[in-house]
Chain A
């Protein structure tokens, strides 16, 4: 843990490292999708087009499993960006920071304080995930809860607020706690998993051994597990968003 570098923008401050890594994630994501759609064809699709079509089919399946697809089809674009962004953001935290000695000499915008340092020192072992910052995950989960409200109001109108009083008016307390806990737990789940993963990478590299390389043997196992966690967490975030929106627009009660 070291001090967070803050950039001052107007009246507020931003976490510079999170912001830069979000930009890098966005660039990688855009590059990936552009590579996938470059040779788009309705004939025999190439490998990358197959991959993208599989992801789209997967997300579409998630929606049609949880709600009437006609109502939820407008969610497809957002959910696709969500699952890809969270996955890329989780994975980018596992890449070793091989540019650390190079970036140590860049004094512009205090980049040397964020990414610089000796190679494989505990401070700069990997790039940090954007999702290892609680602000990013809270932004994503706020979008989720706003979507719940918007879809509930769109398909049920003012009738949507009636479910807060069911089955009896005193249950409103429970419903309000539920409504607040949904974005809170979504955000903390993603943040906790990714942040704990990065802390453990740094801790494993601090295991004493010959020339401080004692972590070489446990490291690959933990990295493989981190890839698994990245996949599971992006899946869970997406499916919980779908499930919450599906709960809000269901007609049964």
Chain B
């Protein structure tokens, strides 16, 4: 297996892992927010802004992984 094929396989694994992790993390955040809003609809605004901060904090790790994947994809040699 030459290094190009290894880089492409690594790209795929990194992208897949990023997608799975981001989906689970963001899903948990949003699910908990919906729970909170259903229990206490008047707290919607505060919960939503906290949710967006949480989503942004979760999202940085899959994005780093995606950047790594792109680097591997474009510098495969």
Residues of A within 8 A of B (CB): 1, 65, 185, 188-189, 191-193, 195-196, 199, 232-233, 235-236, 239-240, 243
A205 and B67 CA atoms in complex are apart in Å by: 20
Most chain A CB neighbours (cut-off 10 Å) among B57, B63, B74: B63
Contact with A along B33-73 (1 / 0, CB 8 A): 00000000000000001001101110110011011001000
How far, in angstroms, from A231 to B55 measured CA to CA in the complex?
14
Q: Which residues of chain B are near A188, meaning CB under 8 Å?
A: 60, 63-64, 67
Measured CB to CB, the residues of B under 8 A from A are 49, 52-53, 55-57, 59-60, 63-64, 66-67, 70, 74
Contact of A239 among B53, B60, B74 (CB under 8 A): B53
CB-CB under 8 A from B55, the residues of chain A are 232
Do B70 and A196 touch across chains, with their CB atoms under 8 A apart?
yes
- A-side interface mostly: helix
Q: Would A240 and B56 be within 8 Å (CB), given that A1-B74, A196-B70, A199-B70 are in contact?
A: yes
Rounded to whole angstroms, the CA-CA distance of A141 and B37 in the bound complex is 32
Q: For the complex, would chain B's binding face be called helix, strand, loop or mixed by DSSP majority?
A: helix
Please tell me if the beta carbons of B66 and A196 are within 8 angstroms of each other in the complex.
Answer: yes
**By the criterion CB–CB under 8 Å, are B63 and A192 in contact?**
yes
CB B16 to nearest CB in A, in angstroms, measures: 15
Nearest chain B CB to A196's CB is how many angstroms away? 6
A selection of 15 A-B contacts at a CB cut-off of 8 Å is A188-B63, A188-B67, A189-B56, A189-B59, A189-B60, A189-B63, A192-B60, A195-B70, A196-B66, A196-B70, A199-B70, A232-B52, A236-B56, A239-B52, A240-B56
18 further contact pairs, Cβ within 8 A, besides A1-B74, A196-B63, A235-B52: A65-B49, A188-B60, A188-B67, A189-B59, A192-B60, A192-B66, A192-B67, A193-B59, A195-B67, A196-B66, A196-B70, A236-B52, A236-B53, A239-B52, A239-B53, A240-B53, A240-B56, A243-B53
